[in-house]
Amino acid sequence: MSDLLENIKGVKRMINVFGVDTKELFQEISLEIPIEALRIIVPPRDGDTMLYLGYKLNIQQVFALNNYLTRKISPDFGAFAYYLVCEGIYKV
């Protein structure tokens, strides 16, 4: 794990939208937000201060994250589940 962190040059955060019935990835939405603001909207779990883990989003969190999106999400929690995810960008 420490090797991975040493070779990381950045992270990309996204909102992944999955079909509730199919569990298939429907959409990936890039998210540009300062980590401090993100921590207020999505409180981190113990030991995950940088929000590297995946987080299932509730309706209030989706609406709060909409403030950082160019194309707003019109959430439909009957059909979709929304997750905050983080992907590492590594040195080659």
Give residue-wise pLDDT tens across range 15-72.
Answer: 999 999 999 999 999 999 999 999 999 999 999 999 999 999 999 999 999 999 999 9
Q: Does domain 2-90 have CATH number 3.30.2020.30?
A: no
What's the CA gap between 38 and 33, in Å, rounded?
A: 6
The answer to whether the predicted template modeling score (pTM) of the entire model surpasses 0.75 is yes
Specify the higher pLDDT residue, 91 or 74: 74
Domain definitions of the chain by residue range: 2-90
Torsion angle (degrees, nearest 10) of CA 89, 46, 20, 16: -20
pLDDT at 8: 78
Average pLDDT, the chain: 92
The answer, yes or no, to whether residue 92 has pLDDT greater than 80, is no
